[in-house]
């Protein structure tokens, strides 16, 4: 079904055409007509199903730019997802001038957000805790709100945001449109829908396992103590360039990452107990291939822009079979073959039985690689990340950094990977053998006519 078949604003259709969006994904085809008709919608679909464009197009089509008030609110469980959602909404809104989208998330200073709020916004994208904080301080006015979106609602419930969401919703107009998107559908979602929504339409796009592009491997272990050795053997045999290891708790996540690092692997943890700066740096390093193993909880990894993984490891089996499908769905994308490895013990037998129902076949255990692989060296990433103490506020752009590094011809564009500019810092990936040379260039030279401190992170 084509986007052109919908009664969207011409500017939105033009933007969709320019960015190559022609046919709708299943969740878009099922939800967008209802959203455009003003219905409340509950949509269940996996990460990467296209749900952001579904609700983003809905709220942009309804938006009145001349009315400079907050008309839409999107609540997300994490800052990373909120940033990603805001970025996609801005892309979709490219053809409509003067739309202001503002992100309000925890983990960053509140001062700049207060300044931005004083200038007003059409769309707020944020995390419940920070949005509620601004609301209670009288900095937000939702009296003109027409659309409320609860994105990844199941994760917001898991993270304990129920009370914050209820407090926020209580200060929005009763006649708003409410859109709830969730990858899984626990009973609490139903209770939330009854409190917050008016006769919602229910849409479910099944999470499917693509056996053509993802090879699943299951390993039955006697007890939990064998998991680290199993993970070590598989990493040494397959040598993935990028892999995510999923754990169910923050404590386990940190412990596994620390143990892998002690064994010589390039691994970092990602979980909710970390400071935002540490999370940001870890994600940049993983995205630019200067670390190759990310050990994460589902909450931390949900909604992150982590695609085209060589392998996914379920160090601990997911609590829910749909979550399992979402986890492994991060590999085997863009036409490449992905590998998914799952460890389970006798306590997980009911999870295996539930998975067999989804997969449609009996799971067969495999043998772990032989001990000879312990002689192999862990994969060493080809890139390293350099941090520059300057960013958007200092008017730095990727071209400034690329130009500085290649000016004397001792480095070429091929030696330089991804460049990410944040408000006060910049990150650049360079080939590991060029790391010292790049640091010398950055620390002794100038960017935008001034010197900035640069250092490497490993």
Considering the domain architecture, whether residues 224 and 80 belong to the same structural domain is answered as: no
Within a domain: 209: no
Q: What was the pLDDT predicted at 50?
A: 83
Within a domain: 349: yes
Residue 402 has pLDDT above 70, yes or no: yes
Residue 83 has pLDDT above 60, yes or no: yes
Last residue of a domain, one of 177, 204, 231: 204
Q: Return d(Cα 121, Cα 128) in angstroms, integer.
A: 17
Write the CATH number for 272: 3.40.50.300
Considering the domain architecture, whether residues 230 and 338 belong to the same structural domain is answered as: yes
| Strand ranges of the sheet holding 338-344, from the earlier edge strand across to the other edge | 214-220, 338-344, 311-314, 243-247, 293-297, 267-270
Considering the domain architecture, whether residues 188 and 312 belong to the same structural domain is answered as: no
Within a domain: 102: yes
Q: What was the pLDDT predicted at 442?
A: 95
pLDDT average, residue stretch 101-130? 92
Do residues 191 and 315 make contact, with C-beta atoms less than 8 angstroms apart?
no
| pLDDT grade for 457, boundaries at 50, 70 and 90 | confident
| Range of 16-20, 168-172, 285-289, 329-333 with top mean pLDDT | 168-172
Within a domain: 242: yes
Q: Return d(Cα 276, Cα 280) in angstroms, integer.
A: 6
**Domain limits for position 84:** 3-204
The closest of 356, 342, 337 to 214, measured between CA atoms, is 337
Torsion over CA: 225, 290, 243, 373 (sign): negative
Considering the domain architecture, whether residues 329 and 389 belong to the same structural domain is answered as: no
Q: Return d(Cα 411, Cα 128) in angstroms, integer.
A: 45
Q: What angle do CA 445, 451, 456 make, to 5 degrees?
A: 75
Write the CATH number for 442: 3.30.70.330
Q: Mean pLDDT in the chain?
A: 90
Q: What was the pLDDT predicted at 327?
A: 84
Q: What was the pLDDT predicted at 48?
A: 63
Within a domain: 430: yes
Considering the domain architecture, whether residues 46 and 161 belong to the same structural domain is answered as: yes
Q: Looking at residue 246, what DSSP letter applies?
A: E
Last residue of a domain, one of 204, 239, 261: 204
Q: What was the pLDDT predicted at 305?
A: 60
| Domain count for the chain | 3
pLDDT average, residue stretch 261-284? 90
Q: Where are the beta strands (DSSP E) in 151-259?
A: 177-182, 201-204, 214-220, 243-247
Considering the domain architecture, whether residues 167 and 48 belong to the same structural domain is answered as: yes
Q: What was the pLDDT predicted at 106?
A: 87
Residues in the chain: 458
Residue 19 has pLDDT above 90, yes or no: no
Considering the domain architecture, whether residues 323 and 426 belong to the same structural domain is answered as: no
| pLDDT grade for 182, boundaries at 50, 70 and 90 | confident
Last residue of a domain, one of 136, 169, 204: 204
Q: What was the pLDDT predicted at 23?
A: 85
Q: Return d(Cα 204, Cα 385) in angstroms, integer.
A: 41
Considering the domain architecture, whether residues 130 and 227 belong to the same structural domain is answered as: no
Q: What was the pLDDT predicted at 300?
A: 67
List C-alpha distances in Å: 257 to 87, 107, 262, 268, 361: 30, 22, 9, 5, 33
Considering the domain architecture, whether residues 177 and 106 belong to the same structural domain is answered as: yes
| pLDDT grade for 20, boundaries at 50, 70 and 90 | confident
Residue 208 has pLDDT above 60, yes or no: no
Considering the domain architecture, whether residues 168 and 278 belong to the same structural domain is answered as: no
pLDDT average, residue stretch 37-46? 90
Q: What is the pLDDT of residues 185-196, one digit of tens each?
A: 778 888 889 999
Q: What was the pLDDT predicted at 326?
A: 78
Considering the domain architecture, whether residues 367 and 390 belong to the same structural domain is answered as: no
Q: What was the pLDDT predicted at 432?
A: 94
Buried b (16+ CB within 10 A) or exposed e, 42-73: bbbbbbebbbbbbbbbbbbbbbeeeeeebbbb
Within a domain: 438: yes
Within a domain: 76: yes
Considering the domain architecture, whether residues 46 and 192 belong to the same structural domain is answered as: yes
Residue 335 has pLDDT above 70, yes or no: no
Within a domain: 399: yes
């Amino acid at each position: 079904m084509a986007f052109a078949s919908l009664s969207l604003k011409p500017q939105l259709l033009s933007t969709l055409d320019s960015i190559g969006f022609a046919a709708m994904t299943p969740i878009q085809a099922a939800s967008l007509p209802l959203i455009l008709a003003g219905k409340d919608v509950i949509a269940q679909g996996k990460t990467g199903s296209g749900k952001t464009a579904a609700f983003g197009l809905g709220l942009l089509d309804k938006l009145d730019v001349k009315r400079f008030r907050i008309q839409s609110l999107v609540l997300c469980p994490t800052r990373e997802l909120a940033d990603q959602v805001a970025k996609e909404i801005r892309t979709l809104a490219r053809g409509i001038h003067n739309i202001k989208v503002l992100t309000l998330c925890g983990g960053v200073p509140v001062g700049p957000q207060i300044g931005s709020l004083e200038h007003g916004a059409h769309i707020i994208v944020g995390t419940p805790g920070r949005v509620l904080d601004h609301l209670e301080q009288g900095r937000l006015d939702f009296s003109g709100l027409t659309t409320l979106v609860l994105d990844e609602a199941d994760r917001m419930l898991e993270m304990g945001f129920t009370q914050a969401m209820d407090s926020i919703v209580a200060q929005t107009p009763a006649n708003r449109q409410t859109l709830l998107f969730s990858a899984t559908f626990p009973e609490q979602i139903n209770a939330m829908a009854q409190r917050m929504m008016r006769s919602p339409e229910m849409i479910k796009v099944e999470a499917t396992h693509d056996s053509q592009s993802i090879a699943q491997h299951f390993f039955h272990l006697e007890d939990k103590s064998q998991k680290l050795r199993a993970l070590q053997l598989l990493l040494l045999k397959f040598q993935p360039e990028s892999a995510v290891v999923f754990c169910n708790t923050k404590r386990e996540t940190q412990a596994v990452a620390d143990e892998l690092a002690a064994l010589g692997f390039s691994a970092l943890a990602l979980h909710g107990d970390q400071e935002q700066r540490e999370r940001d740096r870890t994600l940049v390093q993983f995205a630019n291939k200067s670390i190759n193993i990310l050990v994460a909880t589902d909450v931390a990894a949900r909604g992150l822009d982590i695609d085209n993984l060589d392998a996914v490891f379920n160090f601990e089996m997911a609590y829910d079979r749909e979550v399992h499908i979402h986890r492994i769905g991060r590999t085997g994308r863009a036409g490449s073959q992905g590998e998914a490895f799952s460890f389970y013990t006798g306590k997980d037998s009911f999870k295996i039985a539930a998975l067999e129902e989804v997969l449609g076949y009996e799971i067969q255990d495999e043998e772990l690689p032989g001990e000879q692989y312990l002689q192999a060296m862990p994969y060493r990433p080809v890139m390293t990340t350099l941090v520059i103490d300057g960013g958007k506020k200092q008017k730095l752009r990727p071209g400034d950094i690329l130009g500085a590094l290649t000016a004397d011809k001792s480095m070429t564009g091929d030696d330089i990977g991804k460049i990410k500019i944040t408000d006060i810092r910049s990150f650049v990936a360079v080939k590991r053998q060029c790391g010292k040379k790049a640091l010398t260039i950055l620390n002794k030279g100038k960017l935008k006519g001034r010197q900035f401190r640069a250092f490497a992170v490993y």
